[in-house]
């Protein structure tokens, strides 16, 4: 079966996480991703958070599957000529350096277009145009400046970042979509274009329900928030603990074993249409009596803390999987808190390729997260990440058309 992006060649100038997640996705779909790394140094993540001495870290390997690695310094004269040739031969260039870094290498967008008018040039930056456009940004900075930290955390306590890398991997997803959209547009227009994604924008996009609530706040208290009816609302959307962001109230409740297992919890949504089944399953038919104040969704809203306290008394008598088995057939949406250990061991995730075991020549076998997007006609296979400069010679010969002597000379002057 052919791959969806077969024939698309990507000049991958990305590092750390946001850019590499984007190009890894494109590689999984079959693009030829040529990762350019500084000679002798490489992507900084190769050496960060290492678990095995002198071996590429999991941080690096889990973000750079299915790519080829070429070492190249575009700041040298020979390096500039090779880089220009790569721009000529590639369809897409992706980078997520600090603002201005590619310009400082001597390759502003105008020059890239001059070399290859069909080039799609895609960048991740921390911020879009405005007061912070020149700032360097990492994940948690994006979470804090994009609205996520302000709206995440316990009620009345400090702002909190989440374990999901919504600024980095989230923005990488946006960039990948921008690139394939620009490729589609190029089919019709014959020209490339600039694709830019700001991490702040990406996080805010994922926090849209909180901007919704910010505007609802002007018209009265947010009744599904735990601050209602006894707490206070200020001028901005408050942190709401584990309250659901949708129209159906939800909360995390303890299950059997919570005293010793930090993940013995389940999220339960008291969906209005399924409340009858939920009450019956718990043996609390009295909640359904017409004159009981919890019998309607509106009646339950001011008492959600008590409702979930009662639900918890029941969930604490069963483990999280038993609770799910009882509630799912009743159409009560619920989700056990699954630990990374449980996810790593889950057979169905292995079967779908969402969790994949990969073999690496230096580290041996390790687990990674595979492609979360499944295409029926061109499924993804996950191949190991490249060693630093593993494909330098073959890329310089096949893509740049260089001779063995020219490559030796380029190595001698530190260009590759």
CB closer to ligand COA out of 201 and 322: 201
For 68-81, letters b (16+ CB in 10 Å) and e give bbbbbbbebebbbb
> Is residue 215 a contact partner of residue 240, using CB atoms and an 8 Å limit?
no
CB closer to ligand COA out of 201 and 346: 201
CB closer to ligand COA out of 30 and 126: 126
> Is residue 368 a contact partner of residue 300, using CB atoms and an 8 Å limit?
no
Gap between the Cα atoms of 344 and 355, Å rounded? 7
CB closer to ligand COA out of 140 and 378: 140
Q: How far is the CB of 48 from ligand COA (least distance, A)?
A: 11
Q: Is 51 a catalytic residue?
A: no
Q: How far is the CB of 62 from ligand COA (least distance, A)?
A: 13
Say which residue the tokens 């005293």 belong to: 259
Q: How far is the CB of 283 from ligand COA (least distance, A)?
A: 50
CB closer to ligand COA out of 72 and 119: 72
**Catalytic one of 168, 261, 398, 413:** 168
Gap between the Cα atoms of 75 and 302, Å rounded? 64
Say which residue the tokens 């071996």 belong to: 55
Q: What phi and psi values does residue 170 have, to the nearest 5 degrees?
A: -60, -45
Apex 154 CA angle, 271 and 160, nearest 5: 115
Q: How far is the CB of 349 from ligand COA (least distance, A)?
A: 25
Nearest to 395 by CA among 27, 142, 33: 33
- Alpha-carbon 39 to chain mean position: 28
Strands 355-360 and 334-336: unpaired
Strands 364-369 and 355-360: antiparallel
Q: How far is the CB of 139 from ligand COA (least distance, A)?
A: 6
Q: Which residues bind ligand COA (CB under 6 A)?
A: 16-19, 36-38, 72-75, 96-98, 101, 104-105, 124-126, 136-138, 168
CB closer to ligand COA out of 145 and 319: 145
DSSP three-state, residue 132 = coil
Nearest to 297 by CA among 331, 272, 269: 272
Q: How far is the CB of 365 from ligand COA (least distance, A)?
A: 26
Catalytic residue list: 168
């Amino acid at each position: 079966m052919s791959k969806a992006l077969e024939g698309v060649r990507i000049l991958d100038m990305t590092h750390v996480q946001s850019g590499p997640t984007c190009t890894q996705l494109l590689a999984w779909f079959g693009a030829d991703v040529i990762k350019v790394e500084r000679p002798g140094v490489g992507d900084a993540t190769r050496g960060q958070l290492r678990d095995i001495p002198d071996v590429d870290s999991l941080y690096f390997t889990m973000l750079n599957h299915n790519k080829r690695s070429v070492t190249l310094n575009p700041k040298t004269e020979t390096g500039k000529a090779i880089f220009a040739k790569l721009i000529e031969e590639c369809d897409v260039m992706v980078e997520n350096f600090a603002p201005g870094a590619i310009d400082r290498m001597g390759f502003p967008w105008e020059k890239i277009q001059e070399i290859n008018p069909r080039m799609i040039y895609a960048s991740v930056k921390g911020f879009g145009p405005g007061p912070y456009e020149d700032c360097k940004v990492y994940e948690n900075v994006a979470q804090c400046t994009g609205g996520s930290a302000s709206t995440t955390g316990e009620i009345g306590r400090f702002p909190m970042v989440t374990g999901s890398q919504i600024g980095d991997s989230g923005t990488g997803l946006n960039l990948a979509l921008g690139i394939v959209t620009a490729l589609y547009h190029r089919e019709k227009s014959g020209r490339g274009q600039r694709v830019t994604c700001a991490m702040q924008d990406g996080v805010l996009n994922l926090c849209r329900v909180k901007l919704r609530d910010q505007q609802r706040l002007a018209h009265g208290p947010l009744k599904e928030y735990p601050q209602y009816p006894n707490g206070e609302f200020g001028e901005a959307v408050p942190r709401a603990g584990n309250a659901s962001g949708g129209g159906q109230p939800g909360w995390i409740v303890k299950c059997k074993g919570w005293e010793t297992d930090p993940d013995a919890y389940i999220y339960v949504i008291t969906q209005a249409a399924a409340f009858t089944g939920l009450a019956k399953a718990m043996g609390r038919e009295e909640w359904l009596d017409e004159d009981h104040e919890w019998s309607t969704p509106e009646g339950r809203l001011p008492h959600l803390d008590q409702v979930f306290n009662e639900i918890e008394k029941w969930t604490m008598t069963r483990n999280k999987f038993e609770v799910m088995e009882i509630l799912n057939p009743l159409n009560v949406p619920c989700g056990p808190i699954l630990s990374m250990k449980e996810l790593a061991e889950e057979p169905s995730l292995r079967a779908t390729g969402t969790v994949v075991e990969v073999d690496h020549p230096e580290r041996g076998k390790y687990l990674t997260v595979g492609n979360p997007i499944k295409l029926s006609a061109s499924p993804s296979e996950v191949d190991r990440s490249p060693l630093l400069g593993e494909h330098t010679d073959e890329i310089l010969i096949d893509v740049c058309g260089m001779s063995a002597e020219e490559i030796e000379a380029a190595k001698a002057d530190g260009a590759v």
